[in-house]
Structure formats: C-alpha cells, structure tokens
Structure 1
Amino acid sequence: MDVAALAAWVVTALGGFVLLARWISRGGLRQQRTGTTRFPAPLVFGHFLLAAAGLVVWIVYLAADRSALAWTSFGVLVAVALLGFAMFARWVPVYRTATPAGGEETTPAERHLPVPVVAAHGLLGAATLVLVLLAALGVGGS
C-alpha cells in the first residue's frame, strides 16, 4: 500500500506540474494584477508547496517507517485536497463560460487547462488520499 500511494502521488504530481506550467505560460501570474484569473497565486502555490512537502514527508516515512510521519503526510494531503477542491470550484465556471470577446487579455489562464489532465489530476489525487489513509491505518502491511 505504501509504494502504491507513492506511485499515485508521483503521477498526480506530474499532472500537477503540467497544469501549473500551463497556467503560468498562459499568463496566470500576470493576470494577478488585473484580476482576470480566478486563481489567486497563494492558492495555486499553496497547493503546490503543500503537496510537495507532503510527498517529501511520505518518502521519509517510507524510509523511516514511523506511523507519525504517515499521519502527518495524510494531514498535509487533506489540506492539499481542500485547496485543490477550491481551485476546481473556481475552474468549472471559467471553463463553462464562453471565451470573452476581448481575446487572450481577458481570458483567464485557467481556461486553457486541458480537461483530461484536470480530471486525471483530481481522480489520482483522490486515490492518493485514500491510499495514504489506508497505509497509515496499516491496511496491506508496510
């Protein structure tokens, strides 16, 4: 279970990197000043940094086999999931809205996020959360 959680977390992180890179390349950071984006930078980077920190804690748990580290990682992952849900809730209306007449300057950067990557990232994130919980509970052995 431990290694399955690690694999799911790493694949989820790869999808997250794709989404972050796409958001930045489409002007997400520049749009902070104009309010065009619906994703505040602290939300985006908080999600990213907490996910990375939780992954590091999980890797340390795999090396040290201390249950406190597994539970810490799970707690961090819950916070990551909440931030992810917040971004998803902000993304859905932007994606459903027709492209503004003003062109790229008035189109939020998150409008350009690929639906399959968003879906896979969210589903794998949920699977990771469940796998980490099961591993922390000791299901499947360590």
Structure 2
Amino acid sequence: MRFATLICWLVTASLGAFMLHAWLARGGLDRERVKPGGLPPQLVFGHACAAVGGLLIWSAFLASGVRPLAWAAVGLLMVAVGLGLCTVTLWTPYPAHKPGERRPAAAPDAPKPGQQPGEQPGEQSGMQPEFSVTDEMIAQLMANPALPRGPGPIRPNPAVLVPVAHGFAAIGTFLLAVMSAIR
C-alpha cells in the first residue's frame, strides 16, 4: 500500500505540475497580480511546495521505514489539500456576475412567481409559492419539449478533466497515505 500511495502521489503531482506549467506559460501569474482580488501567487506556490515536500518526505519514509516520517508527509499533504481547496474556491467563477456588479432588484409592486396580478402577497391561489417556479418550468417543458441535439455524442471539455482528475487523485493519495501510516 505504501508504493501504491507513492504512485498515486506521483500521478497527482504530475497533473498538478501540468496545470501549474500551463498556468505560468499562459501568463496566469501576471494576470492574477494585476487583477483586483486575484489569486495570490503564494497560495498557488504554497500548494505546490506543500505537495512536493510531502512527496519527498514520503519517499524518505519508504527508504527508511521510520513511521514519524509518514505522519509528517500526511501532515504536509493535509496542508496541500487545504491550500488546493482554497485555490479551487477562489478560481471557481461563482457567482456568475462580475465583482462589484449589482443585480437588478425586483420592483416592489411586481407580482412574485405564481402570484396573480391583483392578489395580496399573503394570499395563496391554490398553488404554494415555493413550487410555482418549478411548476412553471415543468409546464413550459411540456409545452415545448427540448429539441434533440445535433449528431454526435456530447464531448467533455478536456480542460476540465485535468483539474477534476487532479482532485480525485489527491483524495486517493490522502486516503492511501493515512491508511499506510496507520498500518
């Protein structure tokens, strides 16, 4: 199980190195520095350094068999996972509006979904307001069923597959490392 952890860690590090290289080659570091609220470079490089440091300590554990080295590697892996989750959280484009952009507020006199034009907000017209949006969507789908897509299967975006694979490999690495350190 120790060597399976090493292999999984190497796969994770390889995917991470690929993403870091692509980010640096496309000017990601410069873009993030000039963007207000951009991703701090310390976060990205701290994540990478913690992961590589843990990998080196894990390799020392495999060579020597000293159990505290395994737990030190797991500790660095926990730091790397935490920084990786922070990176993903900051990079995820949610909410969809731009920072500082205000969404238009609904007019106070406008009826809510499912509310009749002359109806008071506290009254109910036979339909519960919580389900009115869902009911409207279902009725709309029943009236206009979706047209079949064009020929060919839906193809995944490869740019999304690498970070997803990196995340799943990191989860596997962490689980294998903890189980190996316990044994």
With normalisation by structure 1, the TM-score equals 0.80
Deviation track 1:48-75 (CA, whole Å, cap 9, x = no partner) reads 1111110000000000001100000000
Question: Identity of counterpart residues, as a percentage?
Answer: 36
- Unaligned residue ranges in structure 2 (runs of 5+): 99-157
More helix by share: 1
Q: How does 1:117-128 map to 2 (within 5 A)?
A: 117-128=162-173
Deviation at 1:97, TM superposition (A): 7.1
Give the corresponding residue for 1:26. Answer: 26
Give the corresponding residue for 2:71. Answer: 71
Q: How does 1:1-142 map to 2 (within 5 A)?
A: 1-35=1-35, 38-93=38-93, 114-138=159-183
Deviation at 1:41, TM superposition (A): 0.5
CA distance in structure 2 between the partners assigned to 1:130 and 1:36 by the alignment: 37
Which sits farther off after the overlay, 79-88 or 18-27? 18-27
Contact 2:33 2:40 (8 Å CA) reproduced: no
CA distance in structure 1 between the partners assigned to 2:34 and 2:56 by the alignment: 35
- For 2:43, give the aligned amino acid: L
Contact 2:50 2:76 (8 Å CA) reproduced: yes
Paired positions, count: 124
Deviation at 1:26, TM superposition (A): 1.7
- For 2:52, give the aligned amino acid: A
Deviation at 1:31, TM superposition (A): 1.7
Deviation at 1:36, TM superposition (A): 6.0
Contact 1:58 1:73 (8 Å CA) reproduced: yes
CA distance in structure 2 between the partners assigned to 1:87 and 1:81 by the alignment: 10
Deviation at 1:38, TM superposition (A): 3.4
- Unaligned residue ranges in structure 1 (runs of 5+): 99-112
Relative to structure 1, the CA distance from residue 64 to residue 25 in structure 2 (aligned partners, 3 Å threshold; closer, same or farther) is: same
Q: Which has the higher contact order (CA 8 A, sep 6+)?
A: 1
With normalisation by structure 2, the TM-score equals 0.63
